[in-house]
Amino acid sequence: MRLILMGTGPFAVPSFDALRAAGHEIALVVTKPEPQVRSRKGPPPAPVRQWATENDLPVFDPVSINESDAISHITSLRADLLVVCDYGHILVSGALAAAPLGGINLHGSLLPAYRGAAPVQRALLSGDRVTGVTVIHMTPKLDGGPILASVETPIRDDETAGELETRLSELGVAITLRSVEMLAQWDRQSEIGEPQDPAKVSKAPRLNKAEANIDWTRTAREIDCLVRGMQPWPVAFTHVATHPDKPPVRLAILEVEAVEADTSGLQPGQILGDGNFSVAVGDGAIAVKRLCPAGKREMGGEEFLRGHQLGRGTPLS
């Protein structure tokens, strides 16, 4: 099949590379334009752009794929199918019509759950035990098209959003290849795929930094899910006053573990002062296993406590 691939982030790369390796003709790779930055480090990584360049594939990066000029360009290439993953733009009907078979999209959840930009993170934040990936035949409605294929997987107890996203991107390869073959055999008239159940729809909006501020009144499991779900960005955090004459220190919290401990007389968010970095929470206590103070290196919770006089009852906020 002659394909146009549309993607930006790392989630798309394994499936795109598998399509190339399977012998499909890649007419074009569409990705978001590189942002203008003044940092010496240059623009942030663009995995799909890098992959396309390494494989000598043509790259097209319009500000909007839905503008008439962009639609005309991709239509002129006479591709059979659009394959979209981790792109960052919603395609209007005119863009989807640029290929006779329309478009398919690989999404990082078991649709119709977690439609939107952050499905992997939202599954973790919700405390789900199982997630997966889904390929849909696209419509202009966000993540709303009929389901062509899906596969589920358990979420590991120690898995961060970044680790889970990497694993899901690999899990999506087989169903992406299978869905492309399904479209290749489609008569373009009969219904294809299974409609999504509107009663099971949930949303997965982008994360924001404020959500990463730990609410210590929540349960140990909820806080653990928050810590894992907020990695690699924006990273769960809290503040602690280490000296009466200095502003509170921001602590990025990287790993926690539920523990059995005496929390009598303590409110959620207060340190136990037991030699470990243990904190009272809504249903008991957790130990902070790894953290990173602002402007410092990553360290263990116990190491941080050894460098500061934080007794029982010291509050985190």
Binding residues for (6S)-5,6,7,8-tetrahydrofolate: 109-112
| Gap between the Cα atoms of 73 and 27, Å rounded | 11
d(CA 265, CA 79) in angstroms, rounded, equals: 68
Q: Which two tokens stand for residue 10?
A: 């790392």
Point out the annotated binding site.
109-112
For residue 83, the one-letter residue type is V
Q: How far apart are CA 187 and CA 199, in angstroms?
A: 30
